[in-house]
Amino acid sequence: MPDGHASEDPIERAVRAVLGSLSGDMTVTEAALLAELEALGREVARAKTEIAALRVDDINVSHIPAATDELDAVVSHTAAATNEILDCCETLEALQPRLSGQDAEALSGAVTRIYEACSFQDITGQRISKVVAALKAIEARVAAATAAFGCGNPAAPAPVAEESDSRTEGERLANGPQLPAAASSQEEIDRLLESFD
């Protein structure tokens, strides 16, 4: 250990304080207390090691923000699709006066059902907003836990190392819907299509 006790863990300081307060032979109770403190110190050290191994910076820097961005994109795309559907309903409603009898009633009923079905967008948005809020609360608690254990630096997170990507260009481009910032450009898509020739 370096000189002094400045670099000691708080548990080590507590154990030293207990040892320093003991004079002469230890009683059974004091020995049991010392054993418990030592076991607690080992458990805290083990927990710190496990937390450090979890790469919590990846959780706060990459995983949670990526998940919230994806959920925000779901809400945005759902709202855009719903607006498009509602615009089409308005077009159909404008046609209704040109129809008569059962055709007019069938069109009116179908448009009403579409309007009612579009209420999913508001409910979905509310539920996704709750999930995003929960993810942000988890992110804050992870940051607080890592700060308390001295693991990572929430104020200035370490950059996430890029993992080696062994996929082909086509596999990298064909990985489903992407956030607008990460989406493939038209040039990349054209190059992929040309590679099939």
Greatest mean pLDDT among 13-17, 19-23, 94-98 lies in 94-98
> What is the pLDDT averaged over residues 42-62?
73
Q: Which run of H or of E encompasses 121?
A: helix 120-149
1: DSSP letter? -
Residue 167 has pLDDT above 60, yes or no: yes
Please report the pLDDT score of residue 176 as a whole number.
Answer: 55
Please report the pLDDT score of residue 158 as a whole number.
Answer: 43
Contact between 64 and 136 (Cβ < 8 Å): yes
For the ranges 16-25, 52-61, 164-173, which has the lowest average pLDDT? 164-173
Residue 172 has pLDDT above 60, yes or no: no
Of the pLDDT bands very low, low, confident and very high (cuts 50, 70, 90), residue 109 is: very high
Greatest mean pLDDT among 23-27, 141-145, 164-168 lies in 141-145
Q: What is the mean pLDDT of the chain?
A: 74
The larger pLDDT score, comparing residue 88 to residue 10, is at 88
> What is the pLDDT averaged over residues 143-157?
61
Q: How many helices (H) and strands (E) does the chain have?
A: 8, 0
Q: Decide: helix, strand or coil at residue 125.
A: helix
Residue 50 has pLDDT above 80, yes or no: no
Q: Compute the half-sphere exposure of residue 86: CA atoms within 13 Å on the CB side of its CA.
A: 13
Residue 101 has pLDDT above 70, yes or no: yes
Residue 117 has pLDDT above 80, yes or no: yes
Residue 47 has pLDDT above 70, yes or no: yes
Q: Taking the domains of the chain in order of start, what are their residue ranges?
A: 1-53, 56-155
Residue 157 has pLDDT above 50, yes or no: no
Please report the pLDDT score of residue 8 as a whole number.
Answer: 62
pTM above 0.85, yes or no: no
Residues ≥6 apart with Cβ < 8 Å to 60:
139, 142, 143, 146, 152, 154, 157
